[in-house]
Amino acid sequence: MPDRYAVFGNPISHSQSPRIHALFAAQTGEEMSYEALLAPLDGFATAVRAFAMSGGRGANVTLPFKEQAFCLATELTPRAKAAGAVNTLSFDGTALRGDNTDGAGLVRDLKANLGFDIAGKRVLLLGAGGAAHGVVLPLLDEQPAALTIANRTEEKAFRLALAFAGRRGTLPEACGFTALTGREFELVINATSAGLSDTALPLPPRLFAARGLAYEMVYGRETAFMRQAHAAGCRVADGLGMLVEQAAEAFQGWRGMRPATGPVLARLKSR
């Protein structure tokens, strides 16, 4: 029997993770299976425990269960603790180890795939939900000149910035969207879910610096944010690379080897 892995979410049928991990397994020769499992909205913990009891070795966790996975884990990696959310679980006897690979995935996509050096840049993070929580510390570790967190609900941006005060040299700044008027950033990351409903964020016109990068975490569609950045003449990337890189980070944690992500990203882009 190959080792079993899965991704839990609700909804889950759209997930690319089974395809990505099948490509990683084929590339590395690892004997493993990976399936997408729909967990009931009120039954995440039960579904995960049943999977672990039936021989599952690990699982990814996606919307809306990352905070529940954080509470369910019996051990947490430092980056999961910092994020307050878990997207990767490893099962070892009765232990459930929780990790968060989203931030590492984003930073690796920015640096290795897109050739964008975060050090010394003015960075704007839009959103203060689970995805934003996961990427703040890895972004600060890259030593940007400044990190600003802007959110529709301002209070959540302030709480998120405060959670990281004193954690690294750069202190995140927090604000609402209106306070962005007259500001310019070399890297603008959209970690809101507005793109899923193709809602345009109320962004001021000169937000995107020339030769900067606009990064949309949503993938598989052109969002209003991407159109706004294109119109401003900014380079634009979607979140497919982050998805593949966070998966590679999870795979490495489970199997002890890192798959090459370039060919997998190319395969996903080609269809």
Q: What residue ranges bind ligand NAP (CB under 6 A)?
A: 63, 102, 105, 127-132, 151-153, 156, 191-196, 199, 201, 217-219, 239, 242-243, 246
CB of 241 to ligand NAP, least distance (A): 8
Shorter beta-carbon distance to ligand NAP: residue 3 or 179: 179
CB of 16 to ligand NAP, least distance (A): 9
Cβ–Cβ < 8 Å for 236, 214: yes
Q: Of these residues, 66, 81, 111, 156, which one is catalytic?
A: 66
CB of 136 to ligand NAP, least distance (A): 12
Is 121 a catalytic site residue?
Answer: no
CB of 179 to ligand NAP, least distance (A): 14
Shorter beta-carbon distance to ligand NAP: residue 74 or 199: 199
CA gap 7, 138 in Å, rounded: 23
Shorter beta-carbon distance to ligand NAP: residue 217 or 232: 217
CB of 247 to ligand NAP, least distance (A): 8
Q: By Cβ distance, which residue is nearest to ligand NAP?
A: 129
Q: Which two tokens stand for residue 25?
A: 């397994």
- Omega prior to 18 cis, within 30 of 0: no
Q: Which two tokens stand for residue 60?
A: 């990814």
Cβ–Cβ < 8 Å for 97, 89: yes
Cβ–Cβ < 8 Å for 148, 175: yes
Quick one: which of 159, 155, 232 has its CA closest to 201?
Answer: 232
- Omega prior to 172 cis, within 30 of 0: no
Shorter beta-carbon distance to ligand NAP: residue 66 or 255: 66
Which letter does DSSP use for residue 180 in this model? G
Cβ–Cβ < 8 Å for 174, 163: no
Shorter beta-carbon distance to ligand NAP: residue 49 or 159: 159
Write phi, then psi, for 125 (nearest 5 degrees). -110, 115
For residue 70, give Cα distances in angstroms to 75, 97, 153, 178: 9, 9, 23, 33
CA 134, 110, 231, 198 torsion-angle sign: negative
Which residues are designated catalytic? 66
